[in-house]
Amino acid sequence: MALQFYGKDPDCPGNNCPAVFRDEETGDVYFQGETVVDPTLLARLSEDSGLSDSESVVKLPARMAEMIVEACRAGAVV
């Protein structure tokens, strides 16, 4: 697996910060962030797309949008 690091939350001090990665072989995007555990929020999210036992919801700050888009577009044929 060849993971490319796209960046971490610029407002996060130190380590253990929300971050964005992309697998260069598959194009899959990985997010490191705060795991959502609020049952009300999880119930609301599950209304549109069920959440299996092997899935989790991760929250990333809006200020990371540009690096998320960059990771998603990397290697895309346009």
What pLDDT sits at residue 78? 54
Residues whose CB is less than 8 angstroms from the CB of residue 33 and which lie 6 or more positions away in sequence, other chains included: 18, 19, 58, 59, 60
What pLDDT sits at residue 49? 92
Q: What is the pLDDT along the chain (78 residues), one digit of tens a residue?
A: 799 999 999 999 888 899 999 999 999 999 999 999 999 999 999 999 999 989 999 999 999 999 999 999 987 655
pTM: predicted TM-score of the whole model, two decimal places:
0.83
